[in-house]
Chains A and B, each alone.
Chain A
């Protein structure tokens, strides 16, 4: 019964979101503010209905209700509770339901937000958001109903894919979706502004927190996915340039550009036309990612045909929203007034450069991902575009971009002084160079790229630190500290996020020093990777809740002293007749020793793959720091208060870069 009510709640949510979509349009016809205000309760009710439906499906999963097809296909009564819950979104239907749940959640938060979004803009934004929600609800109800029943109900379910029975799945998709779907708000704001024909710094201020929040979630979501792949797939890689990964990277790149261009728009009223386009493109890339992953078109052109309804439906959604929004943009954008002039050497100039290179990187990933598909359907030629291509094209775009980052922070708005900026960054340059030379000296004969990458990362971190130092420096230490504490939180957030990029760069660069070794060893046998030696103490069987496992018990020694134990294993899930390898990880500081097991011989020998991965955790820690920086910016006074700051900000007098002293409007 609950299942049917859940299904009905989805239909109800569709009706509600259609109402929410139509009301602002009708209101602008009649000028009746009551009609417009209906969008707020409608957004809340839509969210409540979808949340109820999601709850109903979760209940079916938790109670192992095998009369529901979705539960039968993805659950098993023996499965641990956490995977019964995360299994709700570990399948197509459930993950689409999570998608609309988050979409409606964002809609509800926009409806409730107490910042000073002009009422017409808010209503129109909610209307656009409702249109997206309605179409995706329709998609679920028509092609991917998670509530369909099975009669007769089987006794046992088919279990969730063992690869997905991991805490990673519990966290990764919700975070990723919060990011993906969060950009729908920026999109809705952009469309609302185009409809209204009004776009100004107030718009930028209204949209920026949403973009930033979505960006933070997406950053952590991608990092989480990367770490999951690293320990779950068992061969120690952390990024594979897989189309599905690229599908999440593209909105991230465009979103990063958007976060930066809205700054320019908010402070200087410039780049308006571009920012609106970027907001449209970012969400379009999220939609494209959803299409690519959900339709299966990437696996091969042929799997697209195995489930044409879903693919065609999402393609329709894609055409409707991307085509529609771009058409609206082409029609309305020329009427937008261009604001604030600036010299090429200025903070705006640096942010434009940021946008140019991020867009180029994004375009490269997009073309690289879709090119094989396009080529095959046009000429029938089959080619692959894999990691070597992306590494080769991405790096030359990323390096100049990263080199500019500290300059962007240092240059003044409108017209900057490159010589003065270089002078202020000089210590940063010098220290980074010293670190690079030191790294070269210490690892003489090793890969050349790694020390350079370390130097680049150090330069980014130092640049971020210098920015705070120069802005806060006073006559005495006490004054400097007080000034540093008084800096706007967004300044700290920016510095933190940029330092996070530096941390990630160091982690990535250090992977050139990772060591891999591979051998079949007997009990008591040894295997060396870098400074660490793994000794096989024994191979034991073990039983988990819904699997049996063969575990290799390894002691890790450094110079004869034991530093830890790792137990890589191979799990066998009888319900799916599948084995999954479980990597064994030993974290030493921010470095890791990583082991996975291969074939076990009849004589007790076992194939062990051992890696030493120096500084590997920095890759993901850096991403977390980036997101924290974004989060800190979100707590900045002007977002909490929302209204444009009327009084001139006195705090910024210390620095030559006073963002607040430029009136927003």
Chain B
């Protein structure tokens, strides 16, 4: 499985693979800004690779995006403004964390729905069970039980 992933990865990059994504010269001087830049770019998808964030990707386009993110931060944008800026240009596809909206409602609600509905089903099942009480012992069985008890006591 991993094999294919790696193939796809390599094919997608096409260009020779180099280790490391963020290059030293891209790093911002202000460590706080750099930390924010890293956080933002790890949530942005590289458009030309398979399921990599621009923070992890070696593709030139990812590098451009990283530089854009850093440039916006340098201009004084807050994190949301940077994300907004990138989404405006590249679409929602770049967000690795999908927005919460109507078209993603089912996606975000899946865990809640499964736990909720599953719990409800379990509750209903246990109620149904209680509604049908176990069959009472027949007269013969009662007698057998009484007999056993008597024998145990007399021992």
Q: B1 is contacted by which of A173, A234, A386, A397 (Cβ under 8 Å)?
A: A173
A386 to B54, CA, bound (A): 12
Within 8 A of B (CB), among A318-350: 341, 344
Name B93's contact: one of A248, A299, A383 (CB within 8 Å): A383
Instruction: From A95, A384, A597, A609, give the contact of B98 (CB < 8 A).
Output: A384
Q: How far is the CA of A294 from the CA of B3 in the complex (A)?
A: 11
The yes or no answer to A591 lying at the interface (CB within 8 A) is no
B23: chain A residues within 8 A (beta carbon): 518, 598-599, 607
Q: Say yes or no: A599-B18 contact (C-beta < 8 A), given A242-B51, A381-B92, A383-B95.
A: yes
Which of B74-82, B108-116, B139-147 contacts the other chain? B108-116
Q: How far is the CB of B53 from chain A (nearest CB, A)?
A: 7
B4 and A244 within 8 A (CB):
yes
Cross-chain contact B43 with A225 (CB below 8 angstroms): no
Can you name the residue of chain B whose Cβ is closest to the Cβ of A176?
A: B1
**Docked complex Cα distance between A294 and B7 (Å):** 12
Taking the complex as formed, is B104 at the interface, i.e. its CB lies under 8 A from any CB of chain A?
Answer: yes
Tell me the B89-109 residues at the A interface (CB within 8 Å).
Answer: 91-99, 103-104, 106-108
Rounded to whole Å, the gap between the CB of A568 and the closest CB of chain B is: 7
Are B94 and A384 touching (Cβ within 8 A)? Answer: yes
- Is B60's CB within 8 Å of the partner chain A? no
How far does the alpha carbon of A596 sit from the alpha carbon of B8 in the complex, in Å?
A: 21
Q: Are B6 and A360 in contact (CB under 8 A)?
A: no
| Chain B residues, CB < 8 A from A397 | 111, 115
Binary flags per residue of A161-180, CB closer than 8 Å to B gives 1, else 0: 11110001100110010000
> Which of A134-142, A477-485, A579-587, A651-659 contacts its partner?
A579-587
A163 and B107 form a contact (CB under 8 A)? no
Contact A367 B106 (CB under 8 A): yes
- B96 and A387: CB pair below 8 A? yes
Q: What distance in Å separates the Cβ of B76 from its nearest Cβ neighbour in chain A?
A: 24
Residues of B near A386 (CB, < 8 A) are 43, 45, 51, 53, 96-97
Contacts of A577 in B (CB 8 A): 16
Interface readout for A354-375 with B: 1 if CB under 8 Å, 0 if not?
0011011101100110010001
Contact across chains for A579 and B16 when beta carbons are under 8 A apart:
yes
A245 vs B9: C-alpha distance in the bound complex, in angstroms?
13
**Of B1, B25, B107, which is within 8 A of A247 by CB?**
B1
Interface membership of A565, Cβ < 8 A: no
Question: Which residue from B19, B43, B53, B91 sits with its C-beta under 8 Å from A597?
Answer: B19
B98: which A residues are within 8 A, CB to CB? Answer: 371, 383-385, 389
Q: Do A383 and B111 touch (CB < 8 A)?
A: no
A433 part of interface (Cβ distance < 8 Å): no
Whether A293 sits at the interface, judged by CB under 8 Å, is: yes
Taking the closest CB of chain B, its distance from the CB of A598, in whole angstroms, is 4
Q: What class of interface size applies to chain B in its complex with A?
A: 35 or more
Smallest beta-carbon distance B44→chain A, Å = 9
CB-contact partner of A385 in B1, B19, B25, B107, under 8 A: B107
* With known contacts A293-B4, A520-B25, A356–B18 Cβ distance under 8 A: no
Residue of chain B at shortest CB distance from A392: B97
Q: Tell me whether B115 and A360 are in contact (CB under 8 A).
A: yes
Q: Which of B3, B43, B45 contacts A164 (CB 8 A)?
A: B3
Q: Which residues of A contact B19 (CB under 8 A)?
A: 234-235, 568, 570, 581, 583, 596-598, 609
B92 & A383 in contact (Cβ 8 Å cutoff) = yes
Identify which of A232, A519, A607 gathers the most chain B CB atoms within 10 Å of its CB: A607
Contacts of B45 in A (CB 8 A): 384, 386
Residues of B within 8 A of A368 (CB): 107, 110
- Asked if B126 contacts A382 (CB within 8 A), the reply is no
A379 at the interface (CB under 8 A from B): yes
- Chain B nearest CB from A619 CB (Å) reads 16
Instruction: For residue B51, give the distance in angstroms from its CB to the closest CB of chain A.
Output: 5
Contacts of A583 in B (CB 8 A): 19
- Kindly state the separation between the CA atoms of A168 and B3 in the bound complex, as whole angstroms: 10
- In the complex, the chain B residue whose C-beta lies closest to that of A355 is B118
Contact with A along B50-68 (1 / 0, CB 8 A): 1111001000000000000
Report the minimum CB–CB distance from A258 to chain B (whole Å). 16
Contacts of B18 in A (CB 8 A): 570, 579, 581, 598-599
Neighbouring A residues of B134 by C-beta, 8 Å = 341
B129 close to chain A: CB less than 8 A: yes
> In the complex, how many angstroms separate the beta carbon of B13 from the nearest chain A beta carbon?
9
Which residues of B have CB within 8 Å of A518?
20, 22-24, 27
CB distance from B38 to the nearest CB of A (A): 9
Smallest CB-CB separation from A379: which chain B residue?
Answer: B103
Smallest CB separation, B47 vs chain A (Å): 10
Which chain A residue has the least Cβ–Cβ distance from B94?
A384
Most buried by B among A368, A375, A570, A598: A598
B9 touching A344, Cβ below 8 Å: no
A41 within 8 A of B: no
CA distance A542 to B47 in the complex (A): 35
Whole-angstrom CA separation of A293 from B50 in the bound complex = 13
Determine which of B24, B106, B114 lies in contact with A360 in the assembled complex, contact meaning CB atoms within 8 Å.
B114
Q: How far is the CA of A236 from the CA of B139 in the complex (A)?
A: 72
In the bound complex, what is the Cα–Cα distance between A662 and B22 (angstroms)? 60
A26 part of interface (Cβ distance < 8 Å): no
Within 8 A of B (CB), among A53-100: 89-90, 95
A356 touches B96 (CB 8 A): no
Complex CA gap A163/B6 in Å reads: 6
Q: Please, which residue of chain A has its CB at the minimum distance from the CB of B122?
A: A352
- Chain A's closest residue to B5 (CB) is A244
Q: Are B106 and A371 in contact (CB under 8 A)?
A: yes
Q: B118 to A356, Cβ gap below 8 A?
A: yes
Q: Which of A532-585 contact B (CB under 8 A)?
A: 568, 570, 572, 577-581, 583
CA distance A375 to B93 in the complex (A): 12
* Min CB gap A229→B, angstroms: 6
* Residue B150 CB within 8 A of the other chain: no
Determine if A388 is an interface residue (Cβ-Cβ < 8 Å). yes
**Which residues 507-531 in A have Cβ within 8 Å of B in the complex?**
518-520
Q: How far is the CA of A396 from the CA of B114 in the complex (A)?
A: 13
On whether A344 and B126 interact (CB within 8 A), knowing A161-B10, A578-B17, A596-B19, the answer reads yes
Provide the bound-state CA to CA distance between A382 and B103, in Å.
Answer: 11
Complex contacts, A384 vs chain B, CB 8 Å:
45, 92-96, 98
Among B43, B104, B126, the residue within 8 A (CB) of A383 is: B104
Enumerate chain A residues within 8 angstroms of B22, measured Cβ to Cβ: 518
Evaluate contact between A299 and B8: CB separation under 8 angstroms: yes
12 A–B contact pairs at CB < 8 A?
A172-B3, A240-B52, A244-B2, A245-B2, A293-B4, A341-B134, A386-B45, A393-B108, A397-B111, A518-B27, A577-B16, A579-B18
Q: Which residues of B contact A (CB under 8 A)?
A: 1-10, 16-25, 27, 42-43, 45, 50-53, 56, 91-99, 103-104, 106-108, 110-111, 114-115, 118-119, 122, 126, 129, 134
Q: Would you list the 10 A-B pairs with minimal beta carbon distance, nearest first?
A: A386-B96, A581-B19, A388-B97, A360-B114, A596-B19, A598-B20, A234-B19, A163-B6, A579-B16, A244-B5
Given A161-B10, A244-B4, A371-B98, 12 other A-B contacts at CB below 8 A?
A176-B2, A242-B50, A242-B51, A383-B104, A384-B93, A385-B98, A386-B45, A389-B97, A397-B115, A572-B16, A583-B19, A597-B19
